[in-house]
Amino acid sequence: MRPWAGSWRWITLVLLAWGTLLFYIGGHLVRDSEHPERSSRELSKILAKLERLKQQNEDLRRMAESLRIPDGQAEAGSLAAGRLRSLEDQLTRAKQKIHSFQKLTGDGPGPTQEELRRRVENGVKEFWYFVRSEVKKLANAEISERLKYADTLLQDLGHQERSIMTDLYYLSQADGVGEWRTKEAKDVSDLVQNRITYLQNPPDCSKARKLVCNINKGCGYGCQLHHVVYCFMIAYGTQRTLILESHNWRYAPGGWETVFLPVSNTCTDRSGATTGHWSGEAHDKDVQVVELPIVDSLHPRPPYLPLAIPEDLAPRLHRLHGDPSVWWVSQFVKYLVRPQTWLEKEIQQTTAKLGFKHPIIGVHVRRTDKVGTEAAFHPIEEYMLHVEEQFQNLARRVHIDKKRVYLATDDPSLLQEAKTKYPEYEFISDNSISWSAGLHNRYTENSLRGVILDIHFLSQTDFLVCTFSSQVCRVAYEIMQTLHPDASSFFYSLDDIYYFGGQNAHNQIAIYPHQPRDSEDIVLEPGDVIGVAGNHWDGYSKGINRKLGRTGLYPSYKVKEKIETVKYPTYPEADKLLSSQKK
């Protein structure tokens, strides 16, 4: 058996070297796809490497054939034969990858991508032809028939819109792009999580620069979590270890660490040689321990506040995610809400108890303290309209055995109302959580358990219908970003667009001109910066043209997001550690 063992080791070494080279070339292609001029210069080199890889593939295949062990050998021979079959399978898959890379470099987009692109293009044209024709018919219809005709028109438009969106979904997954997106999302998230872990675990706590954040801001759980996220982002930007003061937390007197994992394993002591209150990054450079106020009282304001993203990650995030600002916030939420063992077990048990499974859409209805102050009252019918629409979208891609809805609310009477009005749906909810969310029970450990479970299950759903005026809804949406490569479009808000309390200005850039059609519209010229006030969810947004100083409405499709980038620290030492761990 020794000749076989030696050959096997040789094949394994060659295969490893060959796989490493293939991984390098694949990564090189992905990184350079946004720079055609650079890619074209490298194309001949890449194709030459691919040809060498093909030759090695053939050599290994012939060697494997020569080492094939006949049936009926001893156990050792059977084991070797199993290893050989595994090798042959790997070679087959690798050959397929080479063919795929050849298509990407030499032959342009794959056939599936082009087929779907043409289908979407044709679908949009046909959509316009249909709308133009039907609106004319509607204008000429008898007044008594217009309402009925309008309802039919909306149904037909919905069918066409869902067809186009389905094609776009498959286009986003075509020819290996879906697999790339999944891998890239994991790689960038691992990078950020590793940098945070490095920052939070200094080798010598007594010498570490620290930022102290007290969790007990006078608001609810979602608001307090966002307060800690804000502290964490400034700690990350100023290269200070976050010290979270949570003793006598209103929700859990034992502190944050009784519910979630500690934010540091090596440094939880706030002591230091010098201490001071925040007075600006430059002014505080010689102060070891800095105490941070709530964002409302922050002065001067550092550049690290949302909705800015790190400059070094911006090219990757722009390519990967539909809302890079939300993705960046979500990484700090991800680190903070890692559950303690008891909470993880509680989540698992509740999942089984409720029968939570996919497909499922999440609905969050906030009533009590929000209605009439921060938000308007929205009946359950408004939510369910968008729930049904999303199930019709999902039905084009997956089998819908039941239309499940996870209902989270602070109104205990809403569950029965929903079941009565919508018997064709299965509502999954825990009414004890609704009772614990009431104002008289708000700041208790039972209430904390309830809101954590609600946020967890909302984030796990396939789509979220809620009001972004609610912190709970926004936290669920943020966590959702950590569970998918890009979940930026997996929501419908009945009121606000996404925002982060205390954020810097949210701006957009005009990409098409717009001439007002009435006194409510504002002028747009390409390049104009628009300060966003909100989206009316009717095709129009509201904002201020910063060049003209005028506020009004404008078509939402005529602008794009202006994502601010900031020179955050890049933590090269942490990146080196991550690279060494992967080797």
pLDDT for position 46: 52
Residue whose C-alpha is closest to residue 433's, from 417, 399, 401, 456:
456
Grouping H, G, I as helix, E, B as strand and the rest as coil, residue 225 is helix
Cβ neighbourhood burial of 416 (10 Å; 0-12, 13-18, 19+) = exposed
Of residues 289, 301, 221, the one with CA closest to residue 260: 221
Model-level pTM greater than 0.85? no
Asked if 394 contacts 400 with a C-beta cutoff of 8 angstroms, the reply is yes
Write out the two tokens for 398. Answer: 């997956």
pLDDT for position 120: 83
Q: Give the lowest-confidence range in 250-254, 292-296, 391-395, 433-437.
A: 433-437
Higher pLDDT, 148 or 187: 187
What's the chain's average pLDDT? 85
Q: Give which of 226, 235, 249 is closest to 289, Cα–Cα.
A: 235
Q: How far is CA 445 from CA 159, 221, 236, 251, in A?
A: 46, 11, 30, 5
- In this model, does residue 284 exceed pLDDT 50? yes
Q: Which of 23-37, 344-358, 567-581 has the highest mean pLDDT?
A: 344-358
Q: Contact, 375 vs 366, CB < 8 A?
A: yes
- Quick one: what percent of the chain has pLDDT higher than 90? 64
What is the average per-residue pLDDT within 225-230?
Answer: 98
- The separation between CA 295 and the C-alpha centre of its own chain, rounded to angstroms, equals 24
Q: Which of the residue ranges 89-93, 146-150, 155-159 would you say has the lowest mean pLDDT?
A: 89-93
pLDDT for the residue 30? 45
* Residue 312 reports pLDDT greater than 70: yes
Answer for the pair 258, 244: CB distance below 8 angstroms, yes or no.
no
Beta strands 463-466; 241-245: pairing state? unpaired
Q: Higher model confidence: residue 19 or residue 466?
A: 466
Q: Which residue has better confidence, 446 or 303?
A: 303
Backbone region of residue 255 per phi and psi (left: phi > 0; alpha: psi in -120 to 50; beta: other values): left
Q: What is the per-residue pLDDT for 369? A: 63
Q: For the chain, what percent of residues have pLDDT higher than 70? A: 79
Q: How far apart are CA 458 and CA 289, in angstroms?
A: 37
Q: Is 70 exceeded by the pLDDT of residue 8? A: no
Q: Reduce the secondary structure of 311-338 to three states and give it as a string.
A: CCCHHHHHHHCCCHHHHHHHHHHHHHCC
Give the tens place of pLDDT for each residue, 315-338.
999 999 999 999 999 999 999 999
pLDDT of residue 100: 54
Which residues, other chains included, contact 526 with Cβ-Cβ below 8 Å and sequence gap of 6+? 510, 511, 512, 513
Q: What pLDDT is stored for residue 48 in this prediction?
A: 53
Looking at residue 554, its pLDDT comes to 96
Please tell me the distance from the alpha carbon of residue 144 to that of residue 147, in angstroms, as a whole number.
Answer: 7
pLDDT the model gives residue 5: 44
Mean pLDDT of 202-207: 97
Q: Which residues pair with 464 in a beta bridge?
A: 362, 491
* Higher-confidence position of 110 and 279: 279
Report the DSSP pairing between strands 550-555 and 289-291.
unpaired
pLDDT in tens, 356-378: 999 999 999 998 766 555 668 89
The answer to whether 211 touches 290, Cβ cutoff 8 Å, is yes
Task: Classify strands 507-510 and 559-561 as parallel, antiparallel or unpaired.
Answer: antiparallel
| Average pLDDT score over residue span 236-247 | 98
pLDDT in tens, 517-528: 999 999 999 999
Radius of gyration of the chain (CA): 28
Q: Are 508 and 555 in contact (CB under 8 A)?
A: no
- pLDDT at residue number 142: 87
Q: Which residue has the higher pLDDT, 175 or 68?
A: 175
Q: What is the pLDDT of residues 48-87, one digit of tens each?
A: 555 555 555 555 555 555 544 454 454 545 555 555 555 5
pLDDT score recorded for residue 40? 46
Q: How many CB atoms lie within 10 A of CB 515?
A: 9
